[in-house]
């Protein structure tokens, strides 16, 4: 695999974006065999071959402006350039573009691995601009030259670039006549990715940056697994497929034609499967950027740390981690499930408080009984669980109802890790302190 950064557009070739591409690929475990190469570095070669194509009669100068073209062609049934300058012998200057002289008759055929034989009649193609007036070759010509020079064998890209392919093939044949002949690579145009509205994913409207998924806590192997399933599926009905199996089973000619729906819910489900499959040590290591960013080699930008760094206790996290691992689908969910361990007092979710305490007429009595019982019972998860069932039964309450105000008092919310294991970790003194605080608040 050759990593070529197509930066002929200077605005899109900024170093931080190149760094982002390399970083994202590294995270995904995709390592280029060659590169990265900047396309802009080959501009002298592009310009030289553009000059050769012009000298050979494959390109001609055009001094038309867009308003002039629009005015001339506004009555035409077919849009596009009307070959006005093709036979005018316009002198090439710093204000003229160079257009490729598309043959008047015949057709160009793209033998696509995924889409089969795609025919482009020349009569439907305009004489397209290959070189800007600045002398800089545009995408199609620059890519054709680079593909030839780098001995590219397979070009795999989105179907939105399929209309560009006949242009590249026409220029490829012309380049064979002004330079060393080179075998044409195989083309495969992948289905486009669409959002929930079945519209093409947009950089402006949809979360498409790989880095954003890393920052949310998706695992690289899960992300690769999901991406592989967009437009392709392995034999059978399995969705969880490791990288080695993907490499072994994947065939370009088995890729589907239809647009592929980028389903974040499905990606999240697959990620959850990968999270639960991690060993405990690997899960703890994977969580470090979110729970202990000061000691992590990488952490998400603008990460909101929910507790002071000096209150984090690695031993506490290791103890509770197995129970957290069963309950999260992405790693960014972890801090919100464990913050109450590392805060002086839990941050109380008002909706949870209102439902479990304020609007429950028995909540105050539950808290009173919990304080009285927990002061003397053995302080381990099993004993706490049994004691809570016992005093709940005495109040004719099921465990779910009994533990609801206790959970909110201790953790600040109505959902989270197992309550009694969490209480054991916090210790008798801290649990009783939080219950007393909740009782006082409930009394107003």
- Residue 261, C-beta contacts closer than 8 angstroms, at least 6 positions apart: 193, 194, 195, 196, 198
**Predicted pLDDT of residue 224:** 97
In order, the DSSP letters of 293-330 are GGG-S---TT---SS-GGG--HHHHHHHHHHHHTT-SS
The single-letter DSSP state of residue 356 is I
Supply the pLDDT for residue 205. Answer: 79
Digit-by-digit pLDDT tens for the chain (444 residues) are 899 998 877 666 678 888 889 999 999 999 999 999 999 999 999 999 999 999 999 999 999 999 999 999 988 877 789 999 999 999 999 999 999 999 999 999 999 999 999 999 999 999 999 999 999 999 899 999 999 999 999 999 999 999 999 999 999 999 999 999 999 999 999 999 999 888 888 877 778 889 999 999 999 999 999 999 999 999 888 999 999 999 999 999 999 999 999 999 999 999 999 999 999 999 999 999 999 999 999 999 999 999 999 999 999 999 999 999 999 999 999 999 999 999 999 999 999 999 999 999 999 999 999 999 999 999 999 999 999 999 999 999 999 999 999 999 999 999 999 999 999 999 999 999 999 999 999 987
Confidence (pLDDT) at 16: 84
pTM of the full structure: 0.90
Domains of the chain: 37-190 (3.40.50.620), 194-277 (1.10.1160.10), 350-443 (1.10.10.350)
Alpha helices in 127-164 (DSSP H): 139-149
Helices then strands, each counted (H, E), the chain = 18, 11
What rounded mean pLDDT belongs to the chain? 95
Determine the distance from the C-alpha atom of residue 379 to the mean position of all C-alpha atoms in its chain, rounded to a whole number. 45
Count Cβ atoms within 10 A of the Cβ of residue 237 and give its class: 0-12 exposed, 13-18 middle, 19 or more buried. exposed
Instruction: Name the DSSP class of 191.
Output: P
pLDDT at 420: 98
Residue 12: per-residue pLDDT: 67
Contact 404, 340 (CB under 8 A): no
Neighbour tally for 9: CB within 10 Å? 12
Tokens matching residue 193: 């990715």
Residue 5: left (phi > 0), alpha (psi -120 to 50), or beta? beta
**Residue 116 bridge partners (DSSP):** 112
Which pLDDT score is estimated for 79? 76
Residue with structure tokens 């019982």? 373
What is the C-alpha to C-alpha distance for residues 165 and 143, in angstroms, rounded to an integer? 10
How is residue 248 written in tokens? 């072994």
Pick the closest to residue 369 from 416, 401, 413, 341 (CA basis): 401
Q: In what order do the strands lie in the sheet with 129-131?
A: 59-62, 97-100, 129-131
């Amino acid at each position: 695999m050759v990593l070529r950064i197509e930066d002929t557009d200077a605005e899109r070739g900024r170093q931080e974006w190149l760094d982002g591409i390399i970083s994202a690929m590294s995270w995904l475990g995709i390592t280029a065999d060659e590169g990265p190469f900047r396309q802009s570095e080959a501009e002298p070669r592009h310009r030289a071959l553009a000059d050769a194509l012009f000298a050979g009669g494959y390109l001609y100068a055009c001094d038309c402006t867009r308003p002039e073209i629009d005015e001339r062609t506004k009555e035409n049934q077919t849009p596009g350039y009307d070959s006005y300058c093709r036979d005018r012998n316009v002198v090439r200057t710093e204000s003229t573009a160079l257009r490729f002289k598309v043959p008047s008759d015949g057709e160009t055929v793209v033998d696509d691995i995924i889409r089969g034989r795609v025919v482009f009649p020349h009569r439907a193609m305009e004489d397209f601009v290959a070189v800007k007036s600045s002398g800089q070759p545009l995408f199609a010509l620059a890519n054709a030259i680079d593909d030839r020079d780098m001995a590219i064998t397979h070009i795999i890209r989105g179907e939105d670039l399929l209309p560009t392919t006949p242009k590249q093939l026409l220029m490829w044949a012309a380049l064979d006549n002004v330079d060393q002949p080179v075998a044409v690579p195989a083309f495969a145009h992948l289905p486009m990715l669409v959002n929930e509205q079945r519209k093409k994913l947009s950089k402006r409207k949809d979360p498409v940056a790989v880095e954003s998924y890393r920052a949310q806590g998706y695992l690289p192997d899960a992300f690769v697994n999901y991406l592989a399933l967009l437009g392709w599926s392995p034999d059978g009905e399995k969705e969880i497929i490791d990288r080695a199996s993907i490499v072994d089973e994947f065939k370009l000619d088995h890729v589907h034609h239809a647009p592929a729906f980028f389903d974040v819910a499905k990606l999240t489900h697959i990620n959850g499967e990968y999270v639960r499959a991690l060993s405990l040590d690997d899960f703890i290591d994977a969580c470090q950027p979110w729970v202990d960013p000061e000691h992590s080699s990488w952490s998400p930008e603008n990460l909101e740390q929910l507790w002071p760094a000096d209150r984090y206790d690695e031993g506490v996290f290791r103890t509770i981690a197995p129970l957290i691992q069963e309950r999260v689908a992405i790693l960014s969910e972890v801090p919100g499930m464990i913050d109450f361990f590392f805060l002086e007092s839990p941050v109380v979710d008002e909706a949870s408080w209102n439902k479990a305490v304020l609007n429950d007429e028995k909540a105050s009595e539950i808290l009173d009984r919990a304080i009285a019982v927990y002061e003397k019972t053995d302080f381990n998860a099993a004993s706490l669980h049994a004691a809570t069932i016992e005093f709940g039964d005495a109040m004719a309450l099921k465990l779910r109802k009994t533990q609801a105000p206790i959970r909110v008092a201790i953790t600040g919310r109505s959902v989270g890790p197992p309550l009694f294991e969490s209480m054991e970790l916090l210790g008798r003194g801290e649990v009783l302190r939080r219950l007393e605080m909740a009782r006082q608040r409930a009394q107003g």
